[in-house]
């Protein structure tokens, strides 16, 4: 259990003054910090780097950061006065973290934001960076929100393991490389400088077949022999009228087979077909580099790599990939085209969408239809996930999209409220099957602090949990039944 330190402000507004804290010491990286609404001065983090684990700012209170604050856990701002407009926020947890919507003042703006969490950080809403956004370790998952890089602000540190998965918006009239990626792939897209300082462009990257989103790779305009079936970017002009040059990155094996970079083209989707946006310059070689479009494009949306000739094979075209449950088997079917240099297909299965193992292989046959039947009679999970590992003759490989098959009744569905909780936590869950259940409360080190068993019928069941006896901190509520587990994290304040 993490120790809890509460701001008192009895001496001054200086964070690093020990007598301003209930424990008589300045918080450290393992401690929960509470900032209540006190009549004494509100805290200011200034002049040095300070650290904490979980942070809660209560209604009516405030926190100002003018130097650097490192946060290893959650941020729970109930006071709406967390000001880091001239400070630096570092997320440096060892478990996944979330930056909630409206955490900071000034339109959820921080001067500098550093992502230093190998397990990833997610956005709960748009966040703006006015000076420098740094990817030090791990991925920032935008989760449908926008990382906004302000006019004259910059980014640093992006790489194959450090990128933004989701939307990056750039405001201003500076040339910019969007540090985007997806599914363990870093794939930047760049633009030349817009004309106006208030204009902005928003970009994201998808390491999936464009056909999955109806950007048909068989619909090609003049000057295009083929386009990638492995990846695409979205680059949209989201404010203003500026036209820009667009530069796409490529590398092997991410982008498939490239032999003649002079034949590469920037291709954009116009709603009905991929159109040729030219090649006015390349960098690098066939293994990795960039290709630049014609000058001052005024059409935006999906972009991908194209080729004016067949010399650049680009990746295999996986036209379709489906799965159908049949008794104790699941029948997988897929259709391919452009099957150049493909060696075989490994059929991979998992009971979640992240961990897979190979259950079978099929040799490539230069294109056509494939069928594989998977025996799932011994699988005890409500949903099974599949993907194809597409192996090339040179040893490189890529993955298909992941598809899910629900072939057994779904298990418990769990919700809790309120969260954070002070006294009574209400628990509601839906059980697909009647049976005996075990409800537990565990701390963040896995120690079970409360446990009760009960029987439930099919449908919704409501329970309550006495949280008053719990110390302030973060806990996990778990419900177990027949080998199935549902869990939710909650905060006691």
Predicted confidence band of residue 395 (pLDDT cuts 50, 70, 90): confident
What average pLDDT does the segment 23-45 reach? 95
What average pLDDT does the segment 415-426 reach? 86
Measured in degrees and rounded to the nearest 5, phi and psi for residue 262 equal -65, -25
Of 183, 180, 250, which is closest to residue 387 (Cα–Cα)? 183
Residue 483, pLDDT above cutoff 90: no
- The domains of the chain are located at 4-307, 317-406, 413-492
In this prediction, residue 87 carries a pLDDT of 97
> What is the per-residue pLDDT across 87-146, written as a single tens digit (0 to 9) for each?
999 999 999 999 999 999 999 999 999 999 999 999 999 999 999 999 999 999 998 999
In this prediction, residue 411 carries a pLDDT of 47
Q: Tokens 């791990």, residue?
A: 138
CATH numeric code, 413-492: 2.60.40.1930
Degrees, nearest 5: CA angle 190-269-173: 30
C-alpha of 352 from chain center:
17
Residue 469 CB coordination number (10 Å): 9
- Could you tell me the two tokens for 271? 């709603």
What average pLDDT does the segment 421-440 reach? 79
In this prediction, residue 9 carries a pLDDT of 96
In this prediction, residue 319 carries a pLDDT of 72
- Could you tell me the two tokens for 263? 């034949």
**Choice among 28-32, 137-141, 464-468 with the minimum mean pLDDT:** 464-468
What average pLDDT does the segment 386-402 reach? 80
Residue 409, pLDDT above cutoff 50: no
- The more confidently predicted of residues 321 and 279 is 279
Residues β-bridged to residue 21: 7
Distance CA 24, CA 26 (A): 7
DSSP states of 17-71 as a string? -GGGBTTSS---TT-EEEE---SSPPPEE-SSEEEES-EEE-TT--EEESSEEEE
> What is the per-residue pLDDT across 65-93, written as a single tens digit (0 to 9) for each?
999 999 999 999 997 799 999 999 999 99
Residue 410, pLDDT above cutoff 70: no
- The more confidently predicted of residues 256 and 338 is 256
Of all residues in the chain, the percent with pLDDT exceeding 70 is 93
Predicted confidence band of residue 444 (pLDDT cuts 50, 70, 90): confident
- The more confidently predicted of residues 472 and 383 is 472
**Choice among 167-176, 223-232, 255-264, 483-492 with the minimum mean pLDDT:** 483-492
Residue pair 217/274 in contact by the 8 Å Cβ criterion: yes
- Could you tell me the two tokens for 376? 């799932």
Distance CA 352, CA 181 (A): 22
C-alpha of 5 from chain center:
32
Highest mean pLDDT among 75-79, 83-87, 423-427, 457-461: 83-87
C-alpha of 362 from chain center:
32
Q: Is the dihedral of CA 259, 262, 266, 270 positive or negative?
A: negative
Kindly report the average pLDDT of the chain as a whole number: 89
- The more confidently predicted of residues 378 and 234 is 234
What is this structure's pTM? 0.70
> What is the per-residue pLDDT across 315-340, written as a single tens digit (0 to 9) for each?
666 777 888 887 788 999 998 876 76
**Choice among 84-93, 150-159, 435-444 with the minimum mean pLDDT:** 435-444
**Choice among 32-46, 187-201, 268-282, 387-401 with the minimum mean pLDDT:** 387-401
Distance CA 21, CA 8 (A): 5
Of 8, 15, 71, which is closest to residue 43 (Cα–Cα)? 15
Does domain 317-406 bear CATH number 2.60.40.10?
yes
Q: Tokens 């896995």, residue?
A: 446
Measured in degrees and rounded to the nearest 5, phi and psi for residue 20 equal -85, 0
In this prediction, residue 458 carries a pLDDT of 58
Does 317-406 match 413-492 in CATH topology?
yes
DSSP states of 193-207 as a string? PPSSTT-EEEEEEE-
In this prediction, residue 433 carries a pLDDT of 63
């Amino acid at each position: 259990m993490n120790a809890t330190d509460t701001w008192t402000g009895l001496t001054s507004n200086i964070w690093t003054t020990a007598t301003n804290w209930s424990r008589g010491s300045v918080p450290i990286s393992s401690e929960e910090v509470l900032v209540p609404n006190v009549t004494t001065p509100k805290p200011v983090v200034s002049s040095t780097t300070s650290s904490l684990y979980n942070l809660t700012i209560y209604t009516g209170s405030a926190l100002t950061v003018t130097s650097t604050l490192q946060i290893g856990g959650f941020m729970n701002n109930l006071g709406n006065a967390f000001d880091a407009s001239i400070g630096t926020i570092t997320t440096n947890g060892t478990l996944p973290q979330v930056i909630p919507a409206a955490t900071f003042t000034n339109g959820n703006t921080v001067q500098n934001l550093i992502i230093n969490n190998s397990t990833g950080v997610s956005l709960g809403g748009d966040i703006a960076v006015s000076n420098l956004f740094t990817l030090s370790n791990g991925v920032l998952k935008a989760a449908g929100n926008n990382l906004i890089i302000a006019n004259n602000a910059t980014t640093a540190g992006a790489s194959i393991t450090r990128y933004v998965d989701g939307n990056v918006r750039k405001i201003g009239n500076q040339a910019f490389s969007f540090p985007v990626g997806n599914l363990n792939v870093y794939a930047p897209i760049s633009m030349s400088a817009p004309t106006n300082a208030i204009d902005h462009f928003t970009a994201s990257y998808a390491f999936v077949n464009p056909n999955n989103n109806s950007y048909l790779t068989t619909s090609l305009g003049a000057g295009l022999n083929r386009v990638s079936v492995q990846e695409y970017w979205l680059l949209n002009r989201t404010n203003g009228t500026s036209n820009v040059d667009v530069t796409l990155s490529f590398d092997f094996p991410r982008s498939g087979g490239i032999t003649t970079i002079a034949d590469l083209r920037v291709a954009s989707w116009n709603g009905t077909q991929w159109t040729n946006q030219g090649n006015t310059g390349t960098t690098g070689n066939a293994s990795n580099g960039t290709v630049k479009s014609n000058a001052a494009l005024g059409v935006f949306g999906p972009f991908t790599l194209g080729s004016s000739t067949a010399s650049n094979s680009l990746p295999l075209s996986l036209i379709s990939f489906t799965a159908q449950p049949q008794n104790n088997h699941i029948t997988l079917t897929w259709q391919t085209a452009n099957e150049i240099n493909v060696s075989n297909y490994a059929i991979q299965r998992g009971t979640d969408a992240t961990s897979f193992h190979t259950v079978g292989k099929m040799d490539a046959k230069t294109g056509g239809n494939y069928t594989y039947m998977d025996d799932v009679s011994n699988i005890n999970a409500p949903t099974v996930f599949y993907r194809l590992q597409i192996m090339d003759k040179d040893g490189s490989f890529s993955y298909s999209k992941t598809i899910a098959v629900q072939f057994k009744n779904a298990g418990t569905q769990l919700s809790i409220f309120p969260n954070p909780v002070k006294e009574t936590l209400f628990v509601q869950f839906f059980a697909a099957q009647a049976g005996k259940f075990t409800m537990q409360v565990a701390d963040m080190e896995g120690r079970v602090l409360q446990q009760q068993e009960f029987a439930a019928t099919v449908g919704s069941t409501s329970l309550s949990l006495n949280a008053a006896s719990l110390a302030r901190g973060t806990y996990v509520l778990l419900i177990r039944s027949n080998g199935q587990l549902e869990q939710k994290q909650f905060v006691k304040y």
